[in-house]
Amino acid sequence: MWRLVLKNLLRNKRRSFLTLSSVAVSLFLLSSLAIVYTALGRPLANDDTIPLLMVRRAAGIVLALPASQAARIKTVPGVAACSPLTWLGGYWKDPANTFAQFAVDPEAIFTVLQGGSTILPDQLAAFKQERTAAVAGRRLADKYHWKIGDRITLLNSPWGVTPELVLRGIFTGGPEDQLYFHWDYLNEAAGRPNLVGIYWVRLERPELAARVGQAIDTMFRNSDAETKTESIGAFLLNFIAMLGNVRLMIFYIGSAVTFAVVLIVANTMAMSIRERIAEAAVLRSLGFRAAHIMVLFVGESLLLTLGGALVGVGGAKLLYDGLALSQIGQFVFADMRMRPGTLALCSSLAPLIALLASSWPAYRAARVNIAEALRHTG
């Protein structure tokens, strides 16, 4: 039966190829939307296993924290390291050259990022020792063709300062599109306001997250700067929430794409079945049941959509997993690889589309009166 299905599918190779290509492109687009939709709902797939916490101002993510809180956070049992993370907000040479620039504790930042980002020991030592030193991620350094020893001046910062930095290191892994420099340098240049954007805290073990987070927030409860400690995934969701209900818009677009695919396959199958009504009648007169005729036509639709899914969904997985994108928008970081649940959902759409597109025309062809079908001219 399936050999007959394949033979019939190849009778009109051009139409079959164009339909499969349309399904593949549509499912590739749908897979891309699904990846973004998933990333906006859960930026990091394994955030519960990452031993990192973000400490921010409870009253709002844009409000600063006192620098004096760092020493107290480090005393909480279970905290392995703590670094301030203060956004500068400048640009390099041209307003188009914007990227994430953070003032950090050079002694602690790569302990916090341990296992995520790595840097050569001599470069790390140079970064720690020099007040105006900076380190950049490999992706950022390659983008602007920076090399060790280059001078980097960051302009138009909301802090009212113009840091003049010297690149002393390039790290790999983790957020490679970021630049780090000394928090003490920024604090001094800004007139010592002694303010920090957020604190990045590394835990001794991931399972300590709930207890340590609660201990930090309790420590500063009823103070002038109450804190909210959360996982890195929950912290990123606060940024995503600022974008509005983007997930709903993506859902509507994805639904429209799915409906369009159904129409494409339905149109192809309707044309193919209408042309072969008489052939179906001959098969029934030879002893084929109506169920066999339905399997024949639905099988063609299934092969078309599965082929399109293999190319479209499989291509999306290979592309996005290969690119390993970590950013959706400016300062909105997320794991953009295709996750198992997304792969299963997009792949399962292929048989569903096949059934929706071909079931009714196949049923009509299988149930038509044989005498009438033999007189059918298509």
Model pLDDT for residues 10-38, shown as the tens digit of each residue: 777 888 888 889 899 999 999 999 998 99
Task: Over range 294-300, report the average pLDDT.
Answer: 82
Query: In percent, how much of the chain has pLDDT > 90?
Result: 55
Query: Cα–Cα distance between 233 and 53 in angstroms, integer?
Result: 9
pLDDT for 173 equals 85
| Per-residue pLDDT reduced to its tens digit, 102-156 | 999 999 999 998 877 899 999 999 999 999 999 999 989 999 999 999 999 999 9
Residue 271 or residue 133, greater confidence: 133
pLDDT surpasses 70 at 375: no
| 218-261 per-position pLDDT tens digit | 999 999 999 999 988 888 887 777 767 788 889 999 999 989 88
Tell me which DSSP letter residue 338 carries. Answer: P
Q: Distance between CA 9 and CA 300 in Å, rounded?
A: 6
Answer yes or no: are the C-beta atoms of 66 and 195 closer than 8 Å. Answer: yes
**Host H or E run for residue 203:** strand 198-203
365: amino acid identity, one letter: A
Backbone angles phi, psi at 300, to 5 degrees: -60, -45
**278 by DSSP, 3-state: which?**
helix
CB–CB of 216/229 below 8 Å?
yes
**Which residue has 């677009």 as its token pair?**
253
Is the pLDDT at 4 greater than 70? The verdict is: no
pLDDT of 42 over the 80 cut? yes
Q: Say if strands 164-171 and 151-155 run parallel, antiparallel, or are unpaired.
A: antiparallel
157-210 per-position pLDDT tens digit: 999 999 999 999 999 987 888 999 999 999 999 999 999 999 999 999 999 999
- Between CA 162 and CA 173, with CA 168 as vertex, the angle to 5 degrees is 105
CA-to-CA separations, 287 to 2, 281, 293, 349, in angstroms, rounded: 17, 10, 11, 33
pLDDT at 278: 73
pTM here is: 0.74
| Residues 327, 363: Cα–Cα separation, whole Å | 47
Tell me the pLDDT tens digit for each residue of 54-92.
999 999 888 999 999 999 999 999 999 999 999 999 999
Token pair belonging to 146: 């920076």
